[in-house]
């Protein structure tokens, strides 16, 4: 090998190998930086993968004409490049066909934004996607505080008439319109039950406008600031008719101010004080989301909360992510909050949980106020009865809560706990 290298290049194998490895490392670094910081955000996963493969084929074609390669091999290489080019011409159509196989229901809209992949689906005609209307009616019958509730009055009309539409973000279910009201009513209205004088609200995440729909049921609210990273998410739910129907046009309300910024950066640099802060972030799958459940982040938000204010956050599933759920609650307490933890039952996600936190009211007082349920707003799912049921926890949860660590920027313990029942 040494002699061959010496004869071909005039240099030793050590020199040639070092140059090859240096070029390989440099190319890998360039590819990683270009992929993660530019290509993926600008062109999406499918076009990035396609263009990378096509570039390699073109390089192979050029090399074939600069070397002593047979005519047949060159022709085959040209044919492959032409075929790949034709596939690129039909790539969007082919990707839609392939993408449909990933979803049970028909895709009605999909978009690769700079930050995420958004997909909306609806069942085929006559296909109900397994969502049992009887279970939803039973839920309302079990927990609704008012008999004979007029579901066709006010903004409740939107929630009752909406079609069965699902939204997926990066392949994960974000909500199904059949039962998203269970989630959003308990996310939002518990804060209003703990503070009857809420005029200003900070909402982080929730660019779909569904939590906003619930906030704007309260006429006393004068100002809402929505901090959402992805502008395309807000644009879609502000303009697409089927999505606007779901949120009742809440994203066009004049009381709303939308800020497209990273939540951590806004918490650190943003200005303003609020009576209610609602956090509707994705689950802590990775570092970027796990840091939004840390002691440091909650302390930053505490500086934006008025003395009698309430902070509410979604807390993942106490059923499928028991340790992670209680880790979030414990982390809030480490940031100086008193907490009351709540769970609800949903068809889409099974059991889901929330944490309500205040600086002044202790847990026993919060629980008492939630169970009394002073709200006069007519709701379809949230009530004093649902609160009494959701605020009750078994001894097993007490055991798990006692042993889980606090999620801190120095350890990001929540990432290791996420997805574990214990």
Helix (H, G, I), strand (E, B) or coil at 219: coil
CA distance 227 to 261: 6
Handedness of CA 186, 187, 189, 190 (dihedral sign): positive
Q: How, if at all, do strands 305-314 and 117-122 pair? A: unpaired
Whether residue 346 contacts residue 317, with contact meaning beta carbons closer than 8 Å, is answered with: no
Residue 393 phi/psi, 5° resolution? Answer: -130, 145
Q: How, if at all, do strands 172-176 and 166-169 pair? A: antiparallel
Contacts of 107 (CB under 8 A, 6+ apart): 96, 99, 100, 119, 120, 121
Whether residue 92 contacts residue 85, with contact meaning beta carbons closer than 8 Å, is answered with: no
CA distance 246 to 109: 15
Query: Nearest 5°: CA angle at 318, between 175 and 315?
Result: 60
Nearest residue to 305 (alpha-carbon basis) of 356, 241, 232: 356
Residues annotated catalytic, as ranges: 280
Contacts of 208 (CB under 8 A, 6+ apart): 167, 174, 175, 233, 237, 243, 246, 247
Whether residue 331 contacts residue 294, with contact meaning beta carbons closer than 8 Å, is answered with: yes
Nearest residue to 374 (alpha-carbon basis) of 194, 239, 214, 254: 194
């Amino acid at each position: 090998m040494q002699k061959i290298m010496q004869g071909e290049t005039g240099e030793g194998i050590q020199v040639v190998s070092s140059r090859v490895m240096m070029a390989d490392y440099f190319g890998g670094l360039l590819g990683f930086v270009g992929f993660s910081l530019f290509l993926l955000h600008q062109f999406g996963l499918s076009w990035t993968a396609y263009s990378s493969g096509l570039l390699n084929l073109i390089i192979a074609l050029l090399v074939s004409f600069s070397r002593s390669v047979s005519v047949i091999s060159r022709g085959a290489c040209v044919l492959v490049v032409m075929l790949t080019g034709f596939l690129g011409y039909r790539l969007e159509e082919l990707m839609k066909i392939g993408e449909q196989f990933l979803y049970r229901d028909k895709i009605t809209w999909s978009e690769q934004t700079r930050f995420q992949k958004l997909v909306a689906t609806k069942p085929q005609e006559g296909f109900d996607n397994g969502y049992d209307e009887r279970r939803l009616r039973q839920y309302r019958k079990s927990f609704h505080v008012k008999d004979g509730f007029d579901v066709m009055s006010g903004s409740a009309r939107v929630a009752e008439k909406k079609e069965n539409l699902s939204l997926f973000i990066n392949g994960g279910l974000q909500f199904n319109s059949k039962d998203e009201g269970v989630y959003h009513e308990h996310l939002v209205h518990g804060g209003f039950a703990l503070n009857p004088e809420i005029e200003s609200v900070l909402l982080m995440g929730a660019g779909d406008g569904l939590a906003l729909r619930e906030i704007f049921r309260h006429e006393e609210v004068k100002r809402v600031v929505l901090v959402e990273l992805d502008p395309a998410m807000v644009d879609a739910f502000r303009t697409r008719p089927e999505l606007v129907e779901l949120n009742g046009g809440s994203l066009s309300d004049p009381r709303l101010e939308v800020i497209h910024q990273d939540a951590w950066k806004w918490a650190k640099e943003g200005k303003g004080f609020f009576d209610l802060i609602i956090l509707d972030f994705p689950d802590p799958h990775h570092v970027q989301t796990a840091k939004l459940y840390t002691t440091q982040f909650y302390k930053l938000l505490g500086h934006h909360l008025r003395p009698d204010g309430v902070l509410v956050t979604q807390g993942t599933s106490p059923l499928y992510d028991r340790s992670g759920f209680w880790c979030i609650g414990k982390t809030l307490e480490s940031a100086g909050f008193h907490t009351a933890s709540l769970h609800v039952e949903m068809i889409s996600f099974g059991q889901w949980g929330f944490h309500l936190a205040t600086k002044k009211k202790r847990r026993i007082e919060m629980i008492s106020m939630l169970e009394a349920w002073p709200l006069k707003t007519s709701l379809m799912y949230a009530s004093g009865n649902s609160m009494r049921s959701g605020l009750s926890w078994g001894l097993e949860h007490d055991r798990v809560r006692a042993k889980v660590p606090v999620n801190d920027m120095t350890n990001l313990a929540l990432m290791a706990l996420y997805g574990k029942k214990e």
